[in-house]
């Protein structure tokens, strides 16, 4: 997590997220997401 966003590791490097749109929700800045989902940082995306 940086002041500019959250870095997500990919197979080809890093993707810096500034805004996200979770399924069924509105577009939001990354800080709004983190306020509602503090466990997002460090999680594995795309897995149940």
- Residue 13 half-sphere exposure, CB side, CA atoms within 13 Å? 2
pTM confidence score: 0.66
Residue-wise pLDDT tens digits, 1-48: 666 788 888 889 888 999 999 899 999 999 998 898 888 887 777 765
- Per-residue confidence (pLDDT) for residue 37, from 0 to 100: 85
- Residue 8 half-sphere exposure, CB side, CA atoms within 13 Å? 13
- Per-residue confidence (pLDDT) for residue 21, from 0 to 100: 94
């Amino acid at each position: 997590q940086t002041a500019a966003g959250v870095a997500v590791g990919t197979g080809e490097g890093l993707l810096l997220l500034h805004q996200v749109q979770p399924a069924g929700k509105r577009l939001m800045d990354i800080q709004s997401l983190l306020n509602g989902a503090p466990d997002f940082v460090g999680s594995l995306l795309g897995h149940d």
